[in-house]
Amino acid sequence: MPPKKILIIEDDADVAEAVYEKLTTAGYRALVAHTATAGLEVFAKEGPDLVVLDLRLPDMDGLDVCRAIREHGTEGGDPQFKTPVIMLTARAEESDRVIGLEIGADDYVPKPFSPKELECRIKAVLRRTGPRPREPERGIWRAAGIELDEGRHRVLLLTETSPEGEEVKLTAIEYQILAVLMRKAGQVVSKEQLLDMVWGYDGFSANLLQIHIGHIRTKIEENPRRPRRLLTVRSFGYKIAEEV
């Protein structure tokens, strides 16, 4: 199996070199671009398996680069696969990280960081977003007027006006969060369990998990401010109601 290709879009030469050396040593094929323009050209030509993207670039805002990658970065034309993006940010404001996650980034690493930490994040993202072998039978989970079909990777919202279901468009992360909760409908799932089962490590921000939960609610609740399907259990976690 050929090594995974990782595209590093970073204008700081020292940071780019340190990441390049670490990933090359770890067995990846690392590609480096120092501007957004060059990075998008390499992305289109090479089709990397993952992009490490600095948010502060000299010729274009990193958020715009992330949008471009998210809009066009599919593997083999498969709309279910989007090229994963890990953002690097030196900005102190959490709002930039939130915006990046909203437009489809899979994770973020604040500067300064160790190349080893970044390598661990890359492994975790590739593990959860990489192509998986198709299984002949996958679970179909129903609760609270929601149907989640793992075999078809599809979520339907069942209502009185649409008893056959309206398809709900979720990001990869939103789908994985909802899938964990649907498998345990009626049971409370702690924040720590969600972080471990979806992200694969405990370093992700619980506040940003809450933001993803909010995004899911805007898509499955009639009134996201008064949720009836995806419920918060104060000081512990979340659960999907068995019935609405």
Task: Please identify every stretch of the chain with a pLDDT value under 70, giving residue numbers as ranges.
Answer: 73-81, 91-94, 96-97, 129-138, 200-206
Check residue 203 and give its pLDDT: 54
Q: CA-CA distance, 151 to 97, in Å (whole number)?
A: 32
The beta strand positions in 114-171, using DSSP E, are 140-143, 146-149, 154-157, 166-167
Check residue 73 and give its pLDDT: 53
Numbered ranges of CATH 3.40.50.2300 in the chain: 5-129
Q: Write the DSSP symbol of residue 161.
A: S
β-pairing, 146-149 vs 140-143, is antiparallel
CATH class held by domain 140-240 = mainly alpha
β-pairing, 166-167 vs 154-157, is antiparallel
Check residue 79 and give its pLDDT: 42
For residue 75, the tally of other CB atoms under 10 A from its CB is 14
For residue 3, the tally of other CB atoms under 10 A from its CB is 13
Q: CA-CA distance, 27 to 73, in Å (whole number)?
A: 23
Numbered ranges of CATH 1.10.10.10 in the chain: 140-240
Nearest CA among 117, 51, 55 for reference residue 82 = 51
Nearest CA among 224, 25, 216, 51 for reference residue 115 = 25
- Looking at the structure, give the CATH architecture of the domain made up of residues 5-129: 3-Layer(aba) Sandwich (3.40)
Tokens matching residue 242: 């068995």
Half-sphere exposure in the Cβ direction for 223 (13 Å, CA): 4
Angle subtended at Cα 172 by Cα 9 and Cα 55, rounded to the nearest 5 degrees: 25
Nearest CA among 129, 126, 158 for reference residue 141 = 158
Nearest CA among 26, 213, 13 for reference residue 101 = 213
